[in-house]
Amino acid sequence: MKIVVIGGTGLIGSKLVTKLGEHGHEAVAAAPSTGVNTLTGEGLAEVLAGAQVVVDVSNSPSFERAAVLQFFETSTRNLLAAEAAAGVGHHVAVSVVGTEKMPENGYFAAKIVQEKLIENSSIPFSLVHATQFFEFVRGIADEATDGDKVRIAPVLFQPMAGEDVAQAVGRVAVGTPLNGRVEVAGPEQFRMDEFFRTALAAWGDPREVVTDPQARYFGSVPGERTLVPGDGATLGQIRYRDWLDRTATGK
């Protein structure tokens, strides 16, 4: 099966291309560096020729509200039009758990627009809503930093390894289109402030984690369950401590 991975050279995309290839599929990494640009349409017709499935794991280079909306709206319209012309039978997109619970967040609002475009297209689809990645937790801490303090809300948090995200997306990609969504998350649920307090200590980071019910998560105040999935989510296998140990040893 030919599966084109948009954003296939990135964190999740590169892992996904490898996994699909190991299972005998023709997995093609599509990104500006490989001559495919979803914003301009460059290379789309060529890379999609003969493809049965397209998986979109691309991301906006900017999280500024107008820029991220322009990226997801333009790239998704171009991609869906090219897929329709090429006869692609399954469009898979990775989104974020909680998008509909925090629409005032610019990034989440852009992902909602992306999802609506996909749902309203003629192409059978599957949406994979994932929780935050272990690989991004340092960035979350940096975003929440105020001087020498990291302000984190006491809400639930269930991050997952990029490896588990790629595994889940791969299963969806080779399956029957859901014409709906599935949620994927890590195997452990934490209180977010406690998670970061433990994480910073493990990193040897001297910043103090302050529990702040009004702390913002990339511009918005999350609710108790905004960032965690509902019942029936697919859970990954890799625990944060194991991932951290593996990362530290390079395994």
pLDDT confidence of residue 212: 97
Instruction: Find the mean pLDDT for residues 21-25.
Output: 96
Q: Can you give the pLDDT at residue 139?
A: 94
Handedness of CA 92, 95, 100, 105 (dihedral sign): negative
CB count within 10 Å of CB 81 equals: 13
Closest CA to 126 of 80, 169, 92: 92
Residue 248 has pLDDT above 80, yes or no: no
Provide the CA 118 distance to its chain's centre, in angstroms. 16
- The pLDDT of 150-159, averaged and rounded, is 97
What are the C-alpha distances in Å from 198 to residues 32, 207, 218? 38, 12, 21
Q: Where are the alpha helices (DSSP H) in 27-124?
A: 44-48, 65-86, 106-119
pLDDT mean across residues, the chain: 95
Cβ-proximal residues to 3 (8 Å cutoff; 6+ apart), any chain: 20, 25, 26, 27, 28, 51, 52, 53, 54, 55, 173, 174
- What pLDDT digit, counting tens, does each position of 42-79 carry? 999 999 999 999 999 999 988 888 999 999 999 999 99
pLDDT at 250 over 80: no
- Burial environment of residue 158 by CB neighbours within 10 A (0 to 12, 13 to 18, 19 or more): buried
Cα separation of 98 and 32, whole Å? 29
Q: Report residue 249's pLDDT band, with 50, 70 and 90 as the boundaries.
A: low
Bridging pattern class, strands 53-56 and 26-30: unpaired
- Of the listed ranges 7-16, 83-92, 239-248, the least confidently predicted one is 239-248
Mean of pLDDT values over 210-223: 92
Which stretches of the chain are DSSP H helices? Answer: 11-22, 44-48, 65-86, 106-119, 137-143, 162-173, 192-203, 240-249
**Contact between 192 and 152 (Cβ < 8 Å):** yes
For the stretch 157-214, pLDDT in tens is 999 999 999 999 999 999 999 999 999 999 999 999 999 999 999 999 999 999 999 9
CATH classification of 2-249, choosing from 3.30.70.1400, 3.40.50.1950, 3.20.20.100, 3.40.50.720? 3.40.50.720
Quote the CA–CA distance of 82 and 41 in Å, as a whole number: 8
Whether the per-residue pLDDT at 105 is higher than 60: the answer is yes
Return d(Cα 115, Cα 100) in angstroms, integer. Answer: 11
Structure tokens at 232: 């029936």
> Distances from the Cα of 118 to the Cαs of 7, 47, 56, 68, 137, in angstroms?
17, 20, 11, 17, 29
pLDDT given for residue 17 in this prediction: 98
| 126, pLDDT greater than 60 | yes
pLDDT band at 103 (very low <50, low <70, confident <90, very high): confident
